Amino acid sequence: MKLFFIGWAESCPELVDTAEALEKNGHQIVYWARNEEPVAVDHSRFPNTIFHSYHEARNSIPTPKIPCDKYPYPDKDLLNQLGWAEILVLPMMNKIYPRVSVSERKQIYIQFIRYWLGLINQFKPDLIFFNTTPHAPLYFALYGLAKHMGIKTAFYEFTWVCNRMIWMNDLREGSTLLKENFLKLRQGGNSIDDLSQDIRTYYEKHINPEVDTTPFYLTDGLKNYSFAKKLSRKISNFFKSLVELKIFLKKIRSFFINLPDMTSRLSFYFRYNLPRSYRALEVKPDLNKKFVYVPLHLQPECTTNPVGEVFQDQIFLIETLSDALPEDWIIYVKEHPFQWLYYGNKFTEDRYRNYYRRIARIPNVYLVPPEFHSLHLIAKTQAVATVSGTAGWETVLRGKPALVFGHAWYKYAPGVFRVKNSDDCRKVFEIVENGFFVPQEDTVAFLLALNNSTLTGYIDKDSKKVSKITPAENMQNFLDAFLLIFR
């Protein structure tokens, strides 16, 4: 089988060994696009593979074996048929091409399609493998083109349930293996004793109201992005640069070049900015009221685009909910704790100047302080609504309903209601008002199905933190899974 590898083995050296073992099993990696900086690959180990760095591919920089400057441009009909992918790729560029106009983004997108169409016609892959859900603009353009051309795709998603990873062939379809296994297991009686020890421990923690199950990446992230940590890193980098005069002079030059922008950025701490616009509108939640809890996603990120498709617009999601809300219910919306830490105080394409004001103007919608614990809101809410977030999963584990607007990996779980409009939401609210609750045996069946449908492994530094396996085991687990997927 001829394979395209996209973004594979950028953080874990043993995954390069997995790729080499795949070739020994008769598969051929004809093309491999990756960021070469974290983990370098000895290209001589793959003599029949064409490597292209992510940055060169993104900018259509040709190589002797990839004459992308000679590739023909896509025609009008193809671009029209790929419109569904284009409307996701253009806002996906917010992270990489901020402040770039829509017209210029369309030009970049057309170059992406030109590049991938030329490569596919040149190398004719049987399967295109992405290391995770394709969400970089360049990679999603390839995913969209592959779907249009009928080329098989595959990718992994880290579930954050212990160290389980799940593979999918299609973003919209999700894991069909998980779905099938759950439907089989749901037929018989299942108990918590049937779960593997690690998943049982995980589940028992989540149903214990005394245990704080906030994911480690949230707690660690809040520490790493604190003001003290940021200042410490800046000081450390400064003193490290003193060792090499060349680096020091480069930093001095960069400082003066960016001084106007730094001054502007600093002024945001003392005048109207993103956090202040939120604080002016927030209210303390009354947990005695009937409410739907909507935790906003960090943006721009994969969890909303492409996973949410049109509901990457979270205001549209909230409006859809509000339109269907029972008469005596309200909606509490909470900003993601990382949004201001990751992307700063300035208004952006995803959090523009009147973003929070528009949310607060929606009938029966209130913004609550970001510091208010999400688990306390989940404990008291009638339902959680999310694009694809962890809060939805936390909710169904506790036996409550979650309205999921996007293609979350857990979308087949009991208690998840996949909704796409106000009528769908209205039907769910009627079910909830009649006393809906997820039976524990159904949740256990889903967790058993998850155990039987996933591999134990990690693909980056964050997922490695929750894994207890060795690099050799990680390599072998992926190899076994690949041979199953690629057969």
In this prediction, residue 37 carries a pLDDT of 78
> Which residue, 483, 375, 450, 392, is CA-closest to 163?
450
In this prediction, residue 280 carries a pLDDT of 96
> Contact 439/190 with Cβ under 8 angstroms?
no
Phi and psi torsions of 246, nearest 5° = -60, -45
342 to each of 38, 218, 282, how far by Cα in Å?
A: 21, 12, 21
Q: pTM, whole model, 2 decimals?
A: 0.90
**Ramachandran quadrant class, 260 (left: phi over 0; alpha: psi -120 to 50; beta: rest):** alpha
336 to each of 180, 318, 368, how far by Cα in Å?
A: 33, 15, 11
What mean pLDDT do residues 41-57 have?
94
Residues 6+ apart with CB under 8 A from 250: none
d(CA 174, CA 177): 9
pLDDT tier, 348 (very low <50, low <70, confident <90, very high otherwise): very high
d(CA 131, CA 11): 11
In this prediction, residue 349 carries a pLDDT of 94
Q: What is the pLDDT of residues 379-430, one digit of tens each?
A: 999 999 999 999 999 999 999 999 999 999 999 999 999 999 999 999 999 9
Q: What is the pLDDT of residues 169-217, one digit of tens each?
A: 999 999 999 999 999 999 877 889 999 999 999 999 999 998 988 877 7
Look-up: residue for tokens 């889903």?
446
> Contact 401/292 with Cβ under 8 angstroms?
no
List residues bridging with 168 in a β-sheet: 155
Instruction: With both helix axes pointing from N to C terminus, report the angle between 83-92 and 102-123 in degrees, rounded to the nearest 10.
Output: 120
What's domain 273-445's architecture? 3-Layer(aba) Sandwich (3.40)
d(CA 380, CA 287): 6
Look-up: residue for tokens 């299609």?
170
Strand, coil or helix: 282: coil
What mean pLDDT do residues 3-31 have?
95
Instruction: Kindly report the average pLDDT of the chain as a whole number.
Output: 91
Q: What is the pLDDT of residues 258-311, one digit of tens each?
A: 656 555 555 555 567 999 999 999 999 999 999 999 999 999 999 999 999 999
Tokens of 435: 């006393």
Bridging pattern class, strands 383-386 and 290-295:
parallel
Give, rounded to a whole angstrom, the gap between the first and last alpha carbons of the chain: 8
